[in-house]
Amino acid sequence: MGRFVVGKSRELPPGGSRSVRVDGRRVAIFNHAGRLFAVDEACPHMGADLSNGDLKEGILTCAWHGWRFRIDTGEGLTRAWARLRTYRLFREGEELVLEISDSPAASGDLQDPPPPSGGAP
């Protein structure tokens, strides 16, 4: 768990996607029209790399057999049980930061890191 730098923002331009290995897991990251998303890399059907899928209008379609998922929530649209775990992916300066936590979190278009917990009011 924690936050991990997975690259530079310029390495993931709009329309871009790729797979990263973080904290012992593989995660597919996307820049969808300027918004950042991150989901489990492996398709729950037969394990295809979802970073190679087709992402249009918020729907990710697996390249192998066409199963579909909402990129923002991970909801399975082909099989309801086939959900993807989502992760927070955001820009911090020029870097892309992926947050791995116990609870699934919606990824999205955060431009700034979340505020630090505790500390000054």
3-state helix, strand, coil in the chain (%, to 5): 5, 45, 50
Rounded to a whole number of angstroms, the minimum distance from the CB of residue 42 to ligand FES is: 8
Nearer Cβ to ligand FES, position 8 or 79?
79
Nearer Cβ to ligand FES, position 3 or 45?
45
Rounded to a whole number of angstroms, the minimum distance from the CB of residue 36 to ligand FES is: 22
Nearer Cβ to ligand FES, position 48 or 59?
48
Quick check: 77 binds ligand FES (CB under 6 A)?
Answer: no
DSSP 66-115: --EEETTT--BSSSTT----EEEEEEETTEEEEEE-SS----B---SPPP
Helix or strand or coil: residue 10?
A: helix
Quick check: 62 binds ligand FES (CB under 6 A)?
Answer: yes
Contacting residues toward ligand FES, per CB under 6 A: 43, 45-46, 48, 62, 64-67
